[in-house]
């Protein structure tokens, strides 16, 4: 494991308060053309960013010099999502000048928290997958590995969520309306991307036949670089995001002839590619746009890699030594045929040569077993957008089936059909996940259990064919953002307890376990939790108008809204408690605040109904004086990274309640445990490994195991059995048919009940209900014993060092990437 010193004295960018102050003032005057008396917080924030950037860019230049000087192997991380959140605080901490900047700004009459909140979140992602990519590039830079992240420079990130009468409303998220101080446009590295058209077979200059693609359209990819500062400031890598533009977008002739709108049509079409993240793909046009997006950024990124490589090499014999490309999920697997196209069609390599290279550079991370998230493209659509790539995929498939499958399973057509990259059916589909496995030297899952399921359930025959290609890398989170920066109080306590090196070596926190029984330490630990809860209570009041007490259990579920994540199971628990309280207002339960944050995909009706349901149930419960405020329910609007940073330090209970076998890993579970929340969860994803680390007595596990889930489904699961056999469950489900929570709108919540009964309850909420309620009772009991709870919380916080994303990155380096660390600034 690489050790990078992060002791304060070793930070290369030591800067005193005076120098920082002067820099901010200078930028206020000379970069933004304003003065102290006129500047608002936005101007102060921007001037602060410019002051920080002086150091960031110096680090960037040094890193560039170092890495290009040694011409080293680098990892290229291709991801449709990078959920960066805000960067100001992160960059200050990583440069080791947070305190300096805070004090300098205070002397300038500015509050650093206010300035930091001026920054819009870079919400270029949807959930855990995108945030993982952001944590990974932080760790890569921290460990000094040569790396570049490649993605799309979306004009709008994930939508901004508002609630209207409890319903989710989507509004565009314009994160860079007024510019983004962190990014640099690089017109010198623009790439051109061909699309559509047709392919011809021609005779090449050597008399050999060759394929020539005549594209119907060319798009330009404009790169924007965002510097990624490693903790300690020793290395600054980049995240390169591509923006689409029309090649020659303004048609003068049409404009001069009076066609003012038509003249811009091409521009609008080209720009649509990087307009939004996950355009609705219910229509054919939406599907085409998604495929185009995936191809667009892979094509630009590969050209960029080849361009850089060719600066130093005359042939491709060293390509696979220099370049490794990690495909973050199935979305970028189109990069495989694209590299083949660039090598064979454009660079003139033989197929065999190109395929041998390609097979050594690509590795694929799978993030989900859910079929809906594994890309498949209709062959007709594919051929329309990428005619040459379809041919290449056919060739890859043909060789794979004839040379590999037929050898292992001679005369077995069924096996060929099973493993074919093309799914025969109506319509025929390209299975991109299969292409990923065939074209990559490694395929990994993101937690131990998920990686096992990949082998057993998702790709069993591929596993039989190539067992050595399958591996696991358990996810992680960066402790810099998810403890040091978001929870300064707890960080200070840990600094005192174990010294200041834990942000890079999180296993040092294990020493704190010895203090878990110490009443004084418990008191300090829980006092910090209480203060964090008070802070969150203020945010809750401001966002929802609901007053909550920091004495209550803060029971939090934050993640994408999806049936498999089972926010509606949590809702059933709330309804159960509410009903019990109505039957007996003196019922002795620990007060709880149920806190949610989640966005539902705009086209996912039931997910939106669940948000509506929780909001309406919350309204009724929060207003019901009979239950004396014993439970409250709040759904915080517009969940995003910066809100998570305020919620996670305040959690007592972390809800990780997915149907076993469905959540590949989860990373919110790690963030909560690190910040001293106890997990209530199923044996799913990384919960299994968290349990191993914290011990069975410090986690609340419930529900069916993954094996039990699959046997139950095979045996014919009937959710109605649970409904009829449990009168309490029946009563709360029937409640949803009434207008109890939605006055004058009877049945407004009925779709949730319908999905659980008529819809067959595909994620087994009802099968797990009883066990979940029992586990929640155990939580209630545990919380009564303050010393016991404190001990459990401390043990959680101290025991999850394994989930540092530096460890994940080191695992990737050791098993897949084989990189060397070169911190740029010693």
Binding residues vs ligand H2P (CB under 6 A): 126-129, 132, 367-368, 446, 475, 559-560, 663-667, 685
How far apart are the C-alpha atoms of 609 and 605, rounded to whole Å?
Answer: 6
Smallest gap from Cβ 312 to ligand H2P, in A, equals: 34
Whether 367 is catalytic: yes
Tokens (6 digits) for 130: 């995108």
Q: What angle do CA 63, 69, 73 make, to 5 degrees?
A: 80
| Closer to ligand H2P by Cβ: residue 191 or 333 | 333
Smallest gap from Cβ 14 to ligand H2P, in A, equals: 36
By C-alpha distance, which of 464, 471, 392, 402 is closest to 435? 392
Describe the chain by its helix, strand, coil percentages, rounded to 5. Answer: 55, 15, 30
Smallest gap from Cβ 331 to ligand H2P, in A, equals: 11
Q: Which is catalytic among the residues 21, 455, 565, 573?
A: 565
How far apart are the C-alpha atoms of 497 and 509, rounded to whole Å?
Answer: 8
Quick check: 327 and 364 in contact, CB under 8 A?
yes
Quick check: 106 and 24 in contact, CB under 8 A?
no
| Closer to ligand H2P by Cβ: residue 31 or 705 | 705
Smallest gap from Cβ 701 to ligand H2P, in A, equals: 17
655 pairs with which residues across the strands?
A: 680
Smallest gap from Cβ 239 to ligand H2P, in A, equals: 17
What does DSSP assign to residue 13?
Answer: T
C-alpha distances (whole Å) from 698 to each of 632, 790, 807 are 25, 11, 23
Measured torsion, CA atoms of residues 377, 379, 382, 383, in degrees rounded to the nearest 10: 180
Rg for the chain, CA atoms, rounded: 27
Task: For the chain, give the longest Cα–Cα distance.
Answer: 91
Whether 471 is catalytic: no
| Closer to ligand H2P by Cβ: residue 388 or 450 | 450
What residues contact 581, with CB distance under 8 A and at least 6 apart? Answer: 587, 589, 626, 627, 630, 631
Q: For ligand H2P, which residue has the nearest CB? A: 128
Smallest gap from Cβ 235 to ligand H2P, in A, equals: 24
Tokens (6 digits) for 107: 């002397």
Q: Which is catalytic among the residues 560, 562, 599, 616?
A: 560
Measured torsion, CA atoms of residues 213, 219, 222, 226, in degrees rounded to the nearest 10: -80
Whether 31 is catalytic: no
Q: Which is catalytic among the residues 455, 515, 671, 753?
A: 671
Backbone phi, psi, residue 325, to 5°? -120, 120
How far apart are the C-alpha atoms of 228 and 148, rounded to whole Å?
Answer: 9
Quick check: 683 and 709 in contact, CB under 8 A?
no
Residue tagged 């007060």 (tokens): 591
Tokens (6 digits) for 696: 């069975």
| Closer to ligand H2P by Cβ: residue 368 or 478 | 368
Tokens (6 digits) for 150: 């490649």
Whether 6 is catalytic: no
Smallest gap from Cβ 23 to ligand H2P, in A, equals: 38
| Closer to ligand H2P by Cβ: residue 327 or 354 | 327
- The burial class, CB within 10 Å (0-12 / 13-18 / 19+), for 555 is buried
279-318 burial code (b ≥16 CB/10 A, e <16): beeeeeeebbbbbbbbbbbbbbbbbbbbebeeeeeeebee
Ramachandran quadrant class, 134 (left: phi over 0; alpha: psi -120 to 50; beta: rest): alpha
Smallest gap from Cβ 157 to ligand H2P, in A, equals: 14
Quick check: 565 and 559 in contact, CB under 8 A?
yes
Smallest gap from Cβ 81 to ligand H2P, in A, equals: 8
Whether 559 is catalytic: yes
User: What are all long-range contacts of 11-16, with beta carbons under 8 Å and residues at least 24 apart?
Assistant: 11/95, 11/96, 11/97, 11/232, 11/233, 12/59, 12/232, 12/233, 12/234, 12/825, 13/55, 13/58, 13/59, 13/95, 13/96, 13/97, 13/233, 14/96, 14/97, 15/55, 15/97, 15/100, 16/100
Kindly give the pairing relationship between strand 323-328 and strand 147-152.
Answer: unpaired
Q: Which is catalytic among the residues 66, 156, 176, 367?
A: 367
Whether 565 is catalytic: yes
DSSP 629-675: TSEEEEE-SS--HHHHHHHGGG-SEEEE-PPTTT-S--SHHHHHHHT
| Closer to ligand H2P by Cβ: residue 21 or 560 | 560
| Closer to ligand H2P by Cβ: residue 511 or 710 | 710
| Closer to ligand H2P by Cβ: residue 292 or 328 | 328
Smallest gap from Cβ 373 to ligand H2P, in A, equals: 7
Smallest gap from Cβ 760 to ligand H2P, in A, equals: 22
Q: Which is catalytic among the residues 559, 566, 599, 616?
A: 559
Q: Which is catalytic among the residues 667, 679, 682, 742?
A: 667
Q: Which residues are catalytic?
A: 367, 559-560, 565, 667, 671
């Amino acid at each position: 494991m690489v050790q990078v010193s992060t002791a304060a004295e070793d930070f290369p960018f030591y800067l005193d308060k005076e120098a920082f102050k002067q820099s901010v003032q200078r930028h206020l005057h000379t970069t933004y053309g304003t003065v102290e008396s006129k500047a608002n917080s936005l101007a102060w924030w921007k001037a602060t960013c410019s002051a920080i950037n002086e150091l960031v860019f110096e680090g960037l230049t040094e890193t560039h010099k170092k890495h290009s000087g040694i011409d080293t192997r680098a990892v290229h991380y291709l991801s449709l999502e990078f959920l960066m959140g805000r960067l100001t605080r992160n960059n200050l901490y990583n440069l080791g000048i947070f305190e300096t900047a805070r004090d300098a700004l205070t002397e300038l009459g500015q509050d650093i928290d206010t300035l930091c909140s001026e920054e819009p979140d870079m919400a270029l992602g949807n959930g855990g997958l995108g945030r993982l990519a952001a944590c990974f590039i932080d760790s890569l830079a921290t460990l000094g590995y040569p790396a570049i992240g490649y993605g799309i420079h979306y004009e709008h990130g994930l939508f901004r969520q508002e609630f209207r009468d409890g319903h989710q409303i989507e509004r565009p998220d314009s994160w860079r309306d007024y510019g983004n101080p962190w990014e640099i446009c690089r017109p010198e590295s623009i790439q051109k991307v061909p699309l559509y058209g047709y392919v011809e077979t021609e005779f090449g200059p050597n008399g050999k036949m060759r394929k020539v693609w005549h594209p119907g359209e060319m798009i330009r990819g404009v790169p924007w670089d965002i510097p990624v500062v490693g903790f300690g400031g020793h290395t600054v890598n980049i995240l390169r995001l591509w923006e689409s533009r029309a090649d020659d977008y303004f048609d003068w002739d049409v404009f001069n002839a009076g066609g003012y709108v038509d003249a811009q049509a091409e521009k609008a079409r080209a720009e649509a590619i990087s307009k939004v993240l996950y355009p609705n793909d219910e229509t054919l046009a939406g599907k085409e746009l998604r495929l185009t997006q995936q191809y667009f950024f892979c094509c630009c990124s590969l050209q960029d890699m080849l361009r850089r490589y060719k600066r130093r090499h005359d042939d491709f014999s060293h390509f696979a030594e220099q370049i490794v490309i990690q495909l973050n999920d199935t979305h970028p697997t189109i990069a495989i045929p694209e590299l083949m196209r660039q090598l064979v069609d454009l660079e003139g390599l033989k197929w065999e040569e190109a395929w041998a290279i390609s097979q050594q550079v690509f590795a694929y991370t799978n993030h989900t077993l859910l079929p809906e998230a594994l890309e498949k493209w209709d062959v007709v659509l594919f051929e329309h957008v990428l005619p040459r790539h379809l041919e290449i995929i056919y060739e890859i498939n043909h060789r794979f089936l004839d040379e590999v499958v037929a050898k292992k399973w001679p005369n077995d057509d069924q096996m060929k059909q099973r493993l074919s990259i093309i799914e025969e059916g109506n319509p025929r589909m390209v299975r991109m996940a299969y292409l990923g496995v065939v074209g990559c030297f490694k395929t990994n899952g993101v937690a131990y259990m998920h990686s096992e399921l990949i082998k057993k359930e998702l790709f069993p025959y591929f596993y039989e064919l190539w067992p050595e290609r399958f591996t696991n890398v358990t996810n992680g989170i960066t402790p810099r953002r998810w403890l040091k920066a978001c929870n300064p109080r707890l960080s200070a306590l840990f600094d005192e307890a174990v010294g200041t090196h834990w942000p890079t070596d999180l296993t040092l926190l294990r020493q704190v376990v010895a203090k878990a029984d110490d009443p004084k330490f418990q008191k300090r630990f829980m006092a910090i939790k209480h203060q964090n809860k008070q802070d969150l209570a203020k945010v809750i009041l401001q966002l929802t108008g609901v007053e909550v007490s920091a004495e209550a259990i803060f029971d939090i579920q934050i993640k994408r809204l999806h049936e498999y994540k089972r926010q509606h199971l949590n809702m059933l628990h709330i309804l159960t408690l509410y009903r019990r309280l109505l039957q007996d207002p003196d019922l002795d339960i620990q007060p709880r605040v149920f806190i949610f944050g989640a966005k539902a995909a705009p086209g996912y009706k039931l997910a939106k109904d669940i948000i509506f349901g929780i909001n309406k149930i919350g309204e009724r419960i929060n207003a019901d004086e009979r239950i004396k405020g014993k439970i409250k329910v709040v759904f915080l609007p517009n969940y995003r990274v910066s809100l998570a940073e305020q919620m996670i330090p305040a959690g007592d209970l972390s809800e990780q309640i997915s149907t076993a076998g469905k959540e590949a890993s989860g990373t919110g579970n790690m963030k909560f445990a690190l910040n001293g929340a106890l997990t209530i969860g199923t044996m799913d994803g990384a919960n299994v490994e968290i349990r191993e680390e914290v011990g069975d007595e410090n986690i609340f596990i419930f529900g069916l195991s993954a094996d039990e889930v699959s046997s139950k489904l095979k045996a014919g699961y009937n959710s109605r059995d649970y409904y009829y056999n449990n009168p309490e469950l029946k009563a709360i489900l029937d409640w949803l048919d009434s207008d109890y929570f939605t006055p004058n709108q009877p049945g407004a919540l009925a779709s949730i009940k319908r999905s659980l009964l008529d819809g067959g309850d595909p994620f087994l909420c009802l099968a797990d209900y009883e066990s979940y309620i029992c586990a929640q009772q155990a939580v209630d009991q545990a919380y009564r014993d303050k010393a016991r709870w404190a001990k459990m919380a401390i043990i959680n916080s101290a025991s999850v060092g394994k989930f540092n994303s530096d460890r994940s990155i080191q695992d990737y380096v050791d098993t897949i990437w084989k990189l060397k660390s070169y911190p740029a600034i010693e």
